[in-house]
Amino acid sequence: MGWLGGLFVYVLIWWMVLFAVLPWGVRVPDRPEPGHATSAPSNPRLGLKLLVTSAVAALLWLAFYFVVEWKLIDVGTA
């Protein structure tokens, strides 16, 4: 797997993990401010979620990389 293919796989894994991590710990306020959506989270903690997403995606990418390099699964090349 080349560096471009590895980067592409990492980005795909990162986005999938992000969508899994975004709902963690979401709490809506009891009394939303006027003009705000009633479903808007009070403290989304996006920075923490981005760090967790990056770390989990890196671990999953490493697992994918070793599976491909050890030829446990043949992904083929075009």
How does pLDDT run across 9-46, given as a tens digit for each residue? Answer: 999 999 999 999 999 999 988 888 888 888 889 889 99
DSSP for 18-62, written as a single string: HHHHTTTT----SSPPTTS-TT--S---HHHHHHHHHHHHHHHHH
Rounded to two decimals, what is the model's pTM? 0.81
DSSP secondary structure code for residue 73 in this structure: S
pLDDT digits (tens, 9 = 90+) for 55-77: 999 999 999 999 988 888 877 66
Nearest to 17 by CA among 9, 28, 6, 26: 9
Classify 25 as helix, strand or coil.
coil
How many angstroms separate the CA atoms of 26 and 43, rounded?
A: 7
